[in-house]
Amino acid sequence: MHPTIAPSALLMSQMMSQPMMISSLLTHAKNNYGTTEIVSRRTEGDIHRYTYADCEQRARQVAQMLSRLGVGPGDRVGTLAWNGYRHLELYYGISGSGSVCHTINPRLFEEQISYIINHAEDKVIFFDVSFLALIEKMLPQCPTVQHWICLSDADNMPASDFVKLACYETLIAEEQGDYDWPVFDECAASALCYTSGTTGRPKGALYSHRSTVLHAYASALPGSLSISSAEVIMPVVPMFHVNAWGTPYSCPMTGAKIVFPGAKLDGESLFELIDSERVTMSAGVPTIWAGLLQYVKENKRTFHTFKRTVIGGSTCPAAMMESFREYGVQVVHAWGMTELSPIGTVAGLKAADLSKPRAEQDHILQKQGRSLYGIEMKIVDGEGQQLPNDGKAFGDLLVKGAWVINNYFRAEQSPLVDGWFPTGDVSTIDADGNMQITDRSKDVIKSGGEWISSIDIENVAVAHPAVLIAACIAVHHPKWDERPLLVVVKKPGVTQDEDTLKKDIQTFFEGKVAKWWIPDDVSFIDKMPLTATGKLMKLSLREMFKDHRLEQ
């Protein structure tokens, strides 16, 4: 516990106290970078471009439209949309007017989507045309929603026999945009995002204006994502989940040009945009980048302006970092979660690391990195005792900070333990502050009382030339309780027979991990089950292999 000092004993400053308003990020961009472009690949198929000044004007029209629809401060407004300029206008129009922008992840199961719309009590839902079929199914189960607004112009409006649809462009054309952004308590809720709910019901993280602006400051800094007006940023990570890692806020804050990829996330479409819009930096999960790298390789393409990409959401395999390096792209490894707005740590080298051999530098860069200023971290053992930051001891990772939740939306009991948020991740922290995830606490393999990191095993496995995706799970073992089983999707064109390949993969681990960590068995499947956010769905795999017997 930190000691405190009574307010009466302090000499208070004479500085202005201005609430940190999300709307001020966009007005700042308009005033300072008014002509900087925002480019979007639309669901209509074409490329749309306009400027920060245009975006700010339309965000004010959105705010006026919401008020006309009867949406007031604190009301939740849902969005089901890809990364694009209209979604950005909604981010600002909704939060800027004091309502709460509830981004909905369309990749969740249908019953999860209706659950969160009802839990949030969304009054209005804005959606991209491509989600109409989903909306039609949702409608009967979502009594709180009064308006379903399609993000389209009148010419491209779809017809529906089931839903009374309103047209976004028609509605905002009725507004003048002569709207002054209100100023209010910076701790008011601004946005709501539910976790993927891989275990149990999805839970809502309710962000504030203050936490969002502070997260934008910290994540834009040099050494964090290093976002500036000299950059062209393509956020591939979706705006419908964890706020596209805060880029819709950090880009206007710094004046970076934004390139939104819309719904087309295949390697070729991403490459085209990177090339034609001179993208310098992007951000996304490893599965997306695997597609881009494959396209570039197969088509012998090269990058001209693309220099950096932020990878997070799952561990970035060393092999992927190396592949990007061959194309002149530096990978910045970051860690975070919905409950952290989302960024907690970013990996990077200090001046003193620059003279170290490449292998040592890579070892640092492959970790999840140091906490951003504003986030504190510690690791604890099963009894809650703090473990040393020696890079070896691993335990449950706890965090606290200005953009960490203190409770879930409408939950009675806070998840905090003595003021710290338990992340559910297991990690090490080294003497230099670098954190490295070794597992999700529910995924660690407990073999004879010792822990095996499933992530370390997967990282080695994906470096094997025949392996496309690998997941390591625990299966029951009569003597050791649990032993690792490696589940593999082979690369296309691999013809080796499975018994030989299995032995070859097991041999591949020798010298790369401790002998007793080598998976006891390797199973091959055609398609890897993935979660709504593109992560390995270990729950399904454990179910699939629950009767798997290991050879004694």
Indicate left, alpha or beta for 27 from its phi (over 0: left) and psi (-120 to 50: alpha). alpha
Q: Which of 286, 198, 284 shows the shortest CA–CA distance to 236?
A: 284
Neighbour count for residue 382 (Cβ, 10 Å): 7
Length of the chain: 552
Which of 78, 246, 261, 312 forms a contact with ligand ADP (CB under 6 A)? Answer: 312
> At its nearest, how many Å lie between ligand ADP and the CB of residue 313?
5
Q: Annotate each residue in 342-361 with x if it binds ligand ADP (CB under 6 A) or - if it does not, as one string.
A: x-------------------
Strand pairing report for 257-260 and 281-284 = unpaired
- The position carrying tokens 């529910």 is 442
Burial grade of 331 (CB within 10 A; 0-12, 13-18, 19 or more): buried
Dmax over CA atoms of the chain, in Å, equals 77
Q: Annotate each residue in 242-281 with x if it binds ligand ADP (CB under 6 A) or - if it does not, as one string.
A: x---------------------------------------
The two tokens of residue 40 are: 């979007």
Indicate left, alpha or beta for 455 from its phi (over 0: left) and psi (-120 to 50: alpha). alpha
User: Smaller CB distance to ligand ADP: residue 28 or 378?
Assistant: 378
Which of 224, 309, 338, 389 forms a contact with ligand ADP (CB under 6 A)? Answer: 338
Q: Which of 463, 216, 441 shows the shortest CA–CA distance to 316?
A: 463
Stretch that binds ligand ADP, among 51-59, 212-220, 309-317, 503-511 (CB under 6 A): 309-317
Cβ contact 88:248 at 8 Å = yes
- The position carrying tokens 């003021």 is 419
Stretch that binds ligand ADP, among 23-31, 84-92, 300-308, 333-341 (CB under 6 A): 333-341
Q: Which residues pair with 348 in a beta bridge?
A: none
**434 near ligand ADP (CB under 6 A):** no
Cβ contact 385:417 at 8 Å = no
Alpha helix (H) residue ranges in 281-385:
286-298, 318-326, 358-365
Note if 339 is an active site residue. yes
Interface with ligand ADP in residues 177-196 (CB under 6 A):
195-196
Collapsing DSSP states into helix, strand and coil, what is residue 485? Answer: strand
Which of 440, 476, 512, 542 forms a contact with ligand ADP (CB under 6 A)? Answer: 440
User: Smaller CB distance to ligand ADP: residue 335 or 517?
Assistant: 335
> At its nearest, how many Å lie between ligand ADP and the CB of residue 81?
18
> At its nearest, how many Å lie between ligand ADP and the CB of residue 196?
3
User: Smaller CB distance to ligand ADP: residue 447 or 533?
Assistant: 533
Burial grade of 488 (CB within 10 A; 0-12, 13-18, 19 or more): buried
**337 near ligand ADP (CB under 6 A):** yes
**97 near ligand ADP (CB under 6 A):** no
Which of 212, 226, 254, 315 forms a contact with ligand ADP (CB under 6 A)? Answer: 315
Query: Directed axis angle between helix 358-365 and helix 318-326, to 10°?
Result: 120
**107 near ligand ADP (CB under 6 A):** no
**423 near ligand ADP (CB under 6 A):** yes
Q: Which one of the listed residues 195, 212, 280, 438 is annotated catalytic?
A: 195
How many residues lie near ligand ADP (CB under 6 A)?
24
**341 near ligand ADP (CB under 6 A):** no
Note if 264 is an active site residue. no
Note if 451 is an active site residue. yes
Q: How far apart are CA 270 and CA 444, in angstroms?
A: 34
CA angle 195, 201, 206 (to 5 degrees): 40
User: Smaller CB distance to ligand ADP: residue 23 or 208?
Assistant: 208
- The position carrying tokens 């050791």 is 480
**314 near ligand ADP (CB under 6 A):** yes
Helix (H) or strand (E) holding 521: strand 521-524
> At its nearest, how many Å lie between ligand ADP and the CB of residue 425?
5
> At its nearest, how many Å lie between ligand ADP and the CB of residue 174?
37
Strand pairing report for 204-208 and 189-194 = antiparallel
Interface with ligand ADP in residues 140-179 (CB under 6 A):
none
Which of 198, 228, 294, 540 forms a contact with ligand ADP (CB under 6 A)? Answer: 198
Q: Which one of the listed residues 198, 400, 451, 531 is annotated catalytic?
A: 451
Q: How far apart are CA 361 and CA 348, in angstroms?
A: 9
> At its nearest, how many Å lie between ligand ADP and the CB of residue 374?
17
**27 near ligand ADP (CB under 6 A):** no
Cβ contact 528:536 at 8 Å = yes
Which of 204, 313, 374, 519 forms a contact with ligand ADP (CB under 6 A)? Answer: 313
> At its nearest, how many Å lie between ligand ADP and the CB of residue 285?
8
Query: Directed axis angle between helix 85-96 and helix 22-33, to 10°?
Result: 130
Question: Footprint of ligand ADP on this chain (CB under 6 A)?
Answer: 195-196, 198, 242, 312-315, 333-338, 342, 368, 423-425, 437, 440, 531, 533, 535
Catalytic residue numbers read 195, 339, 446, 451
